[in-house]
Amino acid sequence: MIMQGKKGIVMGLANKFSIAYGIAQSLKDNGADLLFTSQTDYFKTKISDIAKEFGNHEVMLCDVSLDGEIEKAFDEIHNQIGDIDFIVHSIAFADKNELTGRYCDTTRSNFLNAMNISCYSFTEVCKYAAQKLMPAGGSILALTYYGSEKVVQNYNVMAIAKAALETSVMYIANDVGSSGIRVNAVSAGPIKTLASSGVGDFSRILEIDRNRSPLRRNITQKDIGDACTFLLSDMASGITGEVVHVDCGCSTIGVRF
């Protein structure tokens, strides 16, 4: 129960296949009190049903692509539950028509939208968390993927957004560290979700990863959730500015016969 007495926000739950769902399960199993945000009213209804598993807090609307939404949501959250200990940012978006073919054919509008939702929003989340929600310190986590480090076919603009996100983690960790706030990312192995289904040939990526990884399997929601819980807990009190791979070791393999 390493999260006993801690409360926090999980952003990016869409359904029971979401990485955010696995993280929420692990956090709850370890004693945390959770509040969820939702991108739209449509998702809010679905998330509210799922959120009942995790307690009775209202789901807060927060479309992170819009000016003022994160600050407004965090103000409402503060009114409802007061100061918090952690935030999970499990959010990304790119036009699926451009998650196939050549990266260099990405349009300017998709590039900017992907960067806004998948990277800039994390910067704002950290800024307002530090200003409004975490006077006694805390821990903030983003989700990233290996496509930021090496070419993964079809990951395209999302890879560029993840590379920027990972660098943001370091810079923000430095900005807010003196307030006792830690900022990290988990680089998760591929797992089938609503978002990942938009990446061209995703089932082949899953298969290749399964065969390549030292553990000879794909990652699970629980693998990711438990690692995230550790990083959000006081057990990780000396870890900040890091990208931790939770990918069955896949990123460590160069050539294997």
> Is residue 26 involved in binding ligand NAD (CB under 6 A)?
no
> Is residue 232 involved in binding ligand NAD (CB under 6 A)?
no
Q: Which is nearer to ligand NAD, 133 or 159 (CB)?
A: 159
Q: How far is the CB of 136 from ligand NAD (least distance, A)?
A: 27
42 is an active site residue: no
> Is residue 231 involved in binding ligand NAD (CB under 6 A)?
no
103 is an active site residue: no
**Between 70 and 109, how does the x/- string for binding to ligand NAD read (CB under 6 A)?**
--------------------xxxx----------------
Among 25, 26, 30, 39, binds ligand NAD (CB under 6 A): 39
Q: How far is the CB of 85 from ligand NAD (least distance, A)?
A: 21
Among 58, 63, 95, 175, binds ligand NAD (CB under 6 A): 63
Per residue, the 3-state secondary structure of the chain, as one string, reads: CCCCCCEEEEECCCCCCCHHHHHHHHHHHCCCEEEEEECCHHHHHHHHHHHHHHCCCCCEECCCCCCCHHHHHHHHHHHHHCCCCEEEECCCCCCHHHCCCCHHHCCHHHHHHHHHHHHHHHHHHHHHHHHHHCCCCEEEEEEECHHHCCCCCCCHHHHHHHHHHHHHHHHHHHHHHHHCEEEEEEEECCCCCCCHHHCCCHHHHHHHHHHHCCCCCCCCHHHHHHHHHHHHCHHHCCCCCCEEEECCCHHHCCCCC
> Is residue 64 involved in binding ligand NAD (CB under 6 A)?
yes
Q: Which is nearer to ligand NAD, 154 or 193 (CB)?
A: 193
> Is residue 149 involved in binding ligand NAD (CB under 6 A)?
no
Q: Which residues 195-214 are close enough to bind ligand NAD by CB under 6 A?
A: 195-196
Q: Which is nearer to ligand NAD, 20 or 172 (CB)?
A: 20
The residues near 87 (Cβ < 8 Å, ≥ 6 apart) are 8, 9, 10, 11, 125, 129, 133, 138, 139, 140, 141
Catalytically active residues are 145, 155
- Which positions touch ligand NAD (CB under 6 A)? 12-14, 18-20, 39, 43, 63-65, 90-93, 117, 143-145, 188, 190-191, 193-196
